[in-house]
Structure 1
Amino acid sequence: MVQQLSWKVGGQQGEGIESTGEIFSIALNRQGYYLYGYRHFSSRIKGGHTNNKIRVSTTPVRTIADDLDVLVAFDQETIDLNYHELHDQGVIIADAKFNPAAPEDCKAALYPVAFTEIAANLSTALMKNMVAIGATCAVLNLDTHVFLNVVDEIFGRKGEQVVAKNMEAIQKGYEVMQEQLGSSTNTLKLDPADGKKRLFIIGNDAIALGAMAGGARFMAAYPITPASEIMEYLIKKLPKVGGTVIQTEDEMAACTMAIGSNYGGVRSFTASAGPGLSLMMESIGLSGITETPLVIVDTQRGGPSTGLPTKQEQSDLLAMIYGSHGEIPKIVMAPSTVEEAFYDIAEAFNLAEEYQCPVIFLSDLQLSLGKQTVEPLSLEKIEIHRGKLVNEDLPELSNKGYFKRYELTEDGVSPRVLPGTKNGIFHVTGVEHDETGKPSEVAVNRKKQMDKRMKKLKNVRFNVPVYKDTPHEEADLLMIGINSTRGVIEEAKERLEADGFKVNHAHIRLLHPFPADEVAEVVSKAKKIAVVEHNITGQLANIIKMNVGGSDKIHNICKYDGNPFLPHEVYDACKELL
């Protein structure tokens, strides 16, 4: 009996690899197991190697595993590219159709199973993935009936016969694999799960759901990996609550539409990746100078240019903080878990309206597309705050009938009215302006308006700007990260502490304005600091040095090959520092 295991299915993109992993993981999630799945796929519609690695555990997991217990291969390339992850007791289940062969240095056991032939004999070769699931059941000692409800949900609309044939394919794969195993010890059996019901979603689904819960009723976006699922989810769901989604001709149109909708009083946003954010920069400046609320989701991916559109990276940090021409108040957030993504995106809309500025919601490909078990989310924890929005007609004004939309205030935030508010008329323009919005190039006015706008950043309220797991007053090492590196850092920390080291962990959730005091506090308690991030220049480490200092004890642990960190990589790098 084992508490966790790692399973991977691979083949050519377009031959059912994703659905195989989906059926396998959903069934186990419903048994009460915790799962974490990460999909490696090519930036093309069909063809090219793809795989889905899924970690199954009786306890929570937030990252992929170092090694691999079971590899399901639909082609030889899958074996050649992934066998090195298998440990000595690992198992390869491969389609006999391609005469699979294990490399000489592979110590895992190889079992050919005629996925395609069995499926074709039953009904259609398309069901080969179900045969593979059945073979997996034999290796893992799983009851094939745990897949019945999932198969029924997916194929039920095609009729009972189709459901029955798919279940028959699973059972046949189980039987054929069991015959090969015989009395072999190459079987794995998981400890029983707790049976509790939990969500199994990707980060993008949590972002979309959180946006709805936070009051968003309009989204304008252009499809781009890895952000598209946010738009796809809301196309189905937002109209049910009176909302609208528009697919625009490009990212510039998406951003300006969101600005216009927010100006009209509807909570609105857009979502894209690095290339799309580059196109939005001028519009983000428009949001800043007109003090119009705006939420933008940036799901980071490999760059520059088209770069690695389906691979992991965290290289947009500096661009999101400093990218706009000129200087505007801007808030940049970075959730570290799927749960945080749900709650934080709702808070992003509050912050955008309370401080009347653009809010960049920074994710990364691993957080956005990694599918994992999530505890039930609570709508009761979400509150909606609209800031200084005037919801009533105004008294008649004496200053030529114009409302002071950009009034100089102590906190830098001016009263805001919606179009059509009685006596609330004002100018709105992208050029510098006075308190009523009338264009002005007067030096004194320029300074006052700049001071007013930037003053907002001194008072930004965010409940947990830094996640801290810092039990040690004097730590041997402090590990710092953002976004999806939280899970891999937590595992590396656990291993280092088992070695006898005192290790603290901080994950930064508010990048701008930077929570310097909180970060300085944890930095001061560590002898050495390891900043773990997915880019080549150490952008997060540089932001920390700029705001807090500590250059003498900050060390970079950077990965930028498009793949997520594995726990042993972070552990080994930190062990070397210590």
Structure 2
Amino acid sequence: MVEQLSWKVGGQQGEGIESTGEIFAITLNRLGYYLYGYRHFSSRIKGGHTNNKIRVATQKVRSISDDLDILVAFDQETIDVNVHELHKDGIVLADAKFKPTVPEDKDVTLYAVPFTEIATELGTSLMKNMVAVGASAAIMNLEPESFREVVDEIFSRKGQQVVDKNMEAIEKGAAAVKEQADGKLEKMELNKADGKKRMFMIGNDAIAMGFLAGGCRFMAAYPITPASEIMEYMIKRLPEFGGTVIQTEDEIAAATMSIGANYAGVRTITASAGPGLSLMMESIGLAGITETPLVIVDTQRGGPSTGLPTKQEQSDLMAMIYGTHGEIPKVVIAPSTVQEAFYDAIEALNIAEEYQVPVILLSDLQLSLGKQTVEPLEYDKIDVRRGKLDLHPDLPELEKGEYFKRYEVTEDGVSPRILPGEKNGIFHVTGVEHDETGKPSEVASNRQAQMDKRLRKLKRLPEVFDTPVYTSAPHEQADVLFVGFNSTRGTIEEAIGRLEDEGVKANHAQIRLVHPFPTEQLRPLIDRAAKVIVVENNATAQLANIIKMNVGNHEKIFTLNQYDGTPFLPGQIHERSKELL
């Protein structure tokens, strides 16, 4: 009996790899296990190697495992590419159709199971993935019946006969492995789970749910990996709440349409990835100078240009903070868990309206597309705040030639806001510099006053933002402080656990409010550490450089970078950090 194991299925894209992982994972989730999954896939519709690695445990897990217990292979390439991950006594379940082989130097057990043959006998080779699920169930000592609820949900619309055939495929897959083992089956049985019901979803779904809960009622977007799932979720659900989604012709239209809808008073969002954000930069500047709320999701991926559309990277950080020309107030929020992604989506809507600024919700491919167990969300925490927006203004009558001071210079930098068309509320809106009523103005003193007003909006945000830096700092004086952002949190936590077992005193800080930077919240942690190691998926140490700019302490800051398109593994951080200590 084990507390956790790692399972991976691989093959050619388009032959049911994703559905195999889904059925396996959803079933384990419903049995009460904790899961963390990461999908490797190619940037094409069909063909090319793809795999889905799922970690299953009786306790919370927030990272991919270093090694692998069970590999399900639909082709030889899957074995060749992934066999190095298998630990001693690992198991390969491979389709006998391609006459699988494993390297002689790997001490693993190979079961060549006739996935395709069994499925074809049952009526269609498409069911080979269900045979593979059954084979996996046998290795884990799971009853095939455990999968019935999920199979019924997925296939019931096709009729009871299809449900029964798929269940038979699972049963025959399990029987085939047992028969081949001839009573000597190497089992990897998990300890019993607690049986509690928990959600199982990707970060993009949590973001979309957060926007719905936070009052978003319009979305304009253009599809792009790895952000498309946000739009797909909203297309299905937003109409149920009286909202609308429009797929625009490009990201420029998505951003400007979002600005227009926000100007009209509708909470609106758009979502994209690096290439799309590049196209939106001028529009973000427009939102900044017109002080119109704007919420954008950036799901980071490998760049530049088309780059690696389906691979992990965190290289948009500088662009999100400094990408627009000129100087405007802007907020960049970086959730580090699926739960945070839900709550931060709501907070992004609130901040955009309270401060009348563009807000970028920064994610990355691993967080956005990695599917994981999520504890029940606390809906009583939802708080919708609309700032100075007056939905029912009783405005004094204007003298002839007077206008409403939409851009009035205020002490806190936030001007009064009303919806267009209100009686006695006429004002100009323009992308050029303007006076308090919105009329274009190039007067030097006005320019200074408007710039100063806009730029002082966010001075106190790091103080009032809920957890600008997530911290785990048990040591008053630490040997090392690890710093990261977005999806690296769980991997860093696991690496720290291994270092602590070796006697290293390690603290952890995960930056959640990237801009304006939480200098005063991070500085004490850096002061208490002998060394600082910044972990990030980019080549130029963007987060480390931002820390140096805002906090200093250059001499104690070291970087641990990875930019090959793969996420960090706990073992990589553990071993590479020891070289820096």
1:315-334 matches, within 5 Å, as: 315-334=315-334
1:234-253 matches, within 5 Å, as: 234-253=234-253
Which one of 451, 455, 475 corresponds to residue 472 of structure 1? 475
**What is the match of residue 486 of structure 1?**
489
Which one of 495, 501, 507 corresponds to residue 510 of structure 2? 507
**What is the match of residue 118 of structure 2?**
118
Q: What letter corresponds to residue 306 of structure 1 in structure 2?
A: T
Quick one: percent identity of the two aligned structures?
71
**Residue segments in structure 2 that go unaligned for 5+ positions in a row:** none
CA distance in structure 2 between the aligned counterparts of 1:468 and 1:447, rounded to whole angstroms: 38
Q: What letter corresponds to residue 536 of structure 1 in structure 2?
A: A
**What is the match of residue 355 of structure 1?**
355
| CA drift at 1:97 | 0.4
1:24-39 matches, within 5 Å, as: 24-39=24-39
1:101 paired to 2:101: yes
**What is the match of residue 456 of structure 1?**
457
Matched residue of 2:321: which SS?
helix
1:335 paired to 2:338: no
1:521 paired to 2:528: no
Q: What letter corresponds to residue 517 of structure 1 in structure 2?
A: E
**What is the match of residue 569 of structure 2?**
566
| CA drift at 1:535 | 0.1
Matched residue of 1:62: which SS?
coil
CA distance in structure 2 between the aligned counterparts of 1:295 and 1:210, rounded to whole angstroms: 13
Q: Is the 8 A contact 1:201 1:373 kept in 2?
A: yes
Q: How many residues align?
A: 578
Matched residue of 2:458: which SS?
helix
Q: Is the 8 A contact 2:178 2:185 kept in 1?
A: no
CA distance in structure 2 between the aligned counterparts of 1:22 and 1:401, rounded to whole angstroms: 62
**What is the match of residue 413 of structure 1?**
414
| CA drift at 1:329 | 0.4
Deviations 1:205-238 (A, max 9, x none): 0000000000000000000000000000000000
1:210 paired to 2:224: no
**What is the match of residue 9 of structure 1?**
9
Matched residue of 2:8: which SS?
strand
CA distance in structure 2 between the aligned counterparts of 1:459 and 1:409, rounded to whole angstroms: 15
CA distance in structure 2 between the aligned counterparts of 1:155 and 1:95, rounded to whole angstroms: 23
1:123-134 matches, within 5 Å, as: 123-134=123-134
CA distance in structure 2 between the aligned counterparts of 1:399 and 1:45, rounded to whole angstroms: 62
Which one of 528, 531, 535 corresponds to residue 538 of structure 2? 535
**What is the match of residue 425 of structure 1?**
426
CA distance in structure 1 between the aligned counterparts of 2:503 and 2:452, rounded to whole angstroms: 51
- The TM-score with structure 1 as length reference comes to 0.99
**What is the match of residue 440 of structure 2?**
439
| CA drift at 1:457 | 1.7
Deviations 1:251-284 (A, max 9, x none): 0000000000000000001000000000000000
1:293-312 matches, within 5 Å, as: 293-312=293-312
Deviations 1:83-117 (A, max 9, x none): 00000110000000001011222221111000000
| CA drift at 1:166 | 0.3
1:367-386 matches, within 5 Å, as: 367-386=367-386
Q: Is the 8 A contact 1:393 1:421 kept in 2?
A: no
Q: Is the 8 A contact 1:90 1:186 kept in 2?
A: no
Deviations 1:271-305 (A, max 9, x none): 00000000000000000000000000000000000
| CA drift at 1:352 | 0.2
CA distance in structure 1 between the aligned counterparts of 2:358 and 2:465, rounded to whole angstroms: 15
| CA drift at 1:395 | 1.5
1:103-182 matches, within 5 Å, as: 103-182=103-182
Matched residue of 1:484: which SS?
helix
Q: Is the 8 A contact 2:313 2:365 kept in 1?
A: yes
CA distance in structure 2 between the aligned counterparts of 1:184 and 1:499, rounded to whole angstroms: 38
Deviations 1:380-439 (A, max 9, x none): 101011001112231113473310000000010000010121111100000000000000
CA distance in structure 1 between the aligned counterparts of 2:143 and 2:530, rounded to whole angstroms: 51
**What is the match of residue 90 of structure 2?**
90
Q: Which moves more between the two structures, 61-70 or 185-194?
A: 185-194
1:49-68 matches, within 5 Å, as: 49-68=49-68
CA distance in structure 2 between the aligned counterparts of 1:159 and 1:209, rounded to whole angstroms: 31
| CA drift at 1:550 | 1.2
CA distance in structure 2 between the aligned counterparts of 1:447 and 1:398, rounded to whole angstroms: 27
Q: What letter corresponds to residue 298 of structure 1 in structure 2?
A: D
Describe the shift of the 1:335–1:399 C-alpha distance in structure 2 as closer, same or farther (beyond 3 A). farther
**What is the match of residue 201 of structure 1?**
201
CA distance in structure 1 between the aligned counterparts of 2:512 and 2:395, rounded to whole angstroms: 39
Q: What letter corresponds to residue 431 of structure 1 in structure 2?
A: V
Describe the shift of the 1:45–1:399 C-alpha distance in structure 2 as closer, same or farther (beyond 3 A). same
- The TM-score with structure 2 as length reference comes to 0.99
Q: Which moves more between the two structures, 383-392 or 367-376?
A: 383-392
Q: Is the 8 A contact 2:69 2:90 kept in 1?
A: yes
Q: Is the 8 A contact 1:11 1:73 kept in 2?
A: yes
CA distance in structure 2 between the aligned counterparts of 1:226 and 1:210, rounded to whole angstroms: 18
| CA drift at 1:379 | 1.7
Q: Is the 8 A contact 1:528 1:554 kept in 2?
A: yes
RMSD (Å) for aligned C-alpha atoms = 0.8
Q: Is the 8 A contact 1:263 1:292 kept in 2?
A: yes
1:263 paired to 2:263: yes
Matched residue of 1:35: which SS?
strand
Matched residue of 2:62: which SS?
coil
CA distance in structure 1 between the aligned counterparts of 2:309 and 2:198, rounded to whole angstroms: 30
**Residue segments in structure 1 that go unaligned for 5+ positions in a row:** none
**What is the match of residue 20 of structure 1?**
20
Matched residue of 1:187: which SS?
coil
Q: Is the 8 A contact 1:401 1:423 kept in 2?
A: no
Describe the shift of the 1:399–1:564 C-alpha distance in structure 2 as closer, same or farther (beyond 3 A). farther
CA distance in structure 1 between the aligned counterparts of 2:378 and 2:215, rounded to whole angstroms: 15
Q: Is the 8 A contact 2:339 2:377 kept in 1?
A: yes
Q: What letter corresponds to residue 175 of structure 2 in structure 1?
A: E
| CA drift at 1:185 | 5.7
Matched residue of 1:456: which SS?
coil
Matched residue of 1:552: which SS?
helix
